[in-house]
């Protein structure tokens, strides 16, 4: 237990740094795909430090509270993952943070923020069932929701749960708000609701949400690592390939509507998840 607690604390300390570096790599690779040079690798850290140095000017106290709770939720979820806790517990903690972020956006009168919050709820409706199906499939294969038991497997889960891994990739795209699912908020200027969900978050509050996003990236990549837990090299190759595909899809896709996301992404992917789960009983 002491070793797991120590490992959880180390993971929590390293995760923001790793998440910021991944964000920097994302910007550089995206820029090269668009024939641009791109910002420095450490630009996300410079941006967060600049936001932390700004004078707080939140619209209301609820917005400040929600930004703190979102960051705390993401941090706790990352700690629980490295602590090798229960997958369902991690899911509920992760969801709490997303809900508070939406509640903060709904607490202001900005139409951009209101629309972005409503769309974020629809995105949660799209990716959360997929994550639950993935966890159910893992539990059926391993007999437990415990991460510790999953890492003790002798054969990678990817061989028996390939469709669920693809479903997790779809959920990852929606969760990270990458094209074609950058519906609730976007870094791109062409978005008709500007930054949507994040419109009214400024200064230190926006910095906390950016750090929370880094933690979410590390957490979701950690969930992807469960599908290749038998070797470090294979795991790193899988994670690198997965995130590269995410960046590629982000750069070649135009933004779609929430109706398309729910009808043509959620439903077919859920059916494929069920097919993979039924396939387990034939192995």
Can you tell me the mean pLDDT for 242-271?
86
**Rounded to whole angstroms, what are the CA distances from 146 to 62, 82, 90, 139?**
35, 12, 10, 8
Can you tell me the mean pLDDT for 67-78?
94
- CA distance linking residue 184 with residue 177, whole number of Å: 7
Contact 123, 99 (CB under 8 A): no
Choice between 190 and 163, residue whose per-residue pLDDT is larger = 163
pLDDT on residue 114: 85
pLDDT on residue 116: 83
Choice between 164 and 113, residue whose per-residue pLDDT is larger = 164
Choice between 199 and 95, residue whose per-residue pLDDT is larger = 95
Question: pLDDT confidence of 79, banded at 50, 70, 90?
Answer: very high
pLDDT on residue 71: 94
- CA distance linking residue 218 with residue 95, whole number of Å: 15
In this predicted model, what pLDDT tens digit does every residue of 29-45 receive, in sequence order?
988 988 888 889 999 99
pLDDT on residue 194: 64
* Per-chain mean pLDDT for the chain: 87
């Amino acid at each position: 237990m002491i070793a797991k607690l120590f490992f959880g604390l180390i993971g929590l300390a390293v995760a923001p740094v790793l998440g910021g570096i991944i964000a920097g790599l994302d910007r550089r690779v995206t820029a090269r795909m668009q024939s641009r040079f791109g910002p420095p690798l450490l630009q996300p850290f410079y941006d967060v430090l600049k936001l932390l140095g700004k004078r707080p000017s939140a619209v209301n106290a609820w917005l400040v509270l929600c930004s703190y709770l979102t960051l705390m939720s993401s941090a706790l979820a990352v700690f629980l993952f490295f602590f090798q806790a229960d997958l369902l517990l991690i899911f509920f903690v992760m969801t709490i943070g997303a809900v508070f972020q939406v509640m903060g956006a709904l607490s202001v009168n900005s139409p951009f923020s209101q629309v972005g919050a409503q769309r974020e709820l629809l995105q949660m409706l799209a990716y959360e069932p997929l994550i639950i199906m993935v966890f159910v499939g893992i539990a059926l294969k391993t007999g437990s929701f415990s991460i510790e038991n999953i890492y003790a497997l002798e054969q990678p889960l990817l061989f028996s749960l390939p469709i669920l891994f693809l479903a997790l990739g779809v959920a990852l795209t929606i969760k990270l708000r990458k094209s074609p699912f950058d519906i609730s908020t976007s870094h791109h200027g062409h978005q008709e609701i500007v930054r949507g969900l994040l419109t009214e978050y400024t200064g230190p509050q926006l910095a906390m949400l950016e750090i929370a996003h880094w933690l979410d990236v590390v957490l979701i990549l950690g969930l992807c690592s469960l599908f290749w837990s038998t070797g470090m090299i294979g795991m790193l190759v899988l994670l690198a390939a997965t995130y590269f595909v995410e960046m590629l899809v982000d750069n070649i896709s135009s933004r779609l509507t929430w109706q398309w996301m729910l009808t043509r992404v959620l439903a077919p992917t859920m059916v494929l998840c069920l097919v993979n789960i039924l396939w387990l009983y034939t192995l």
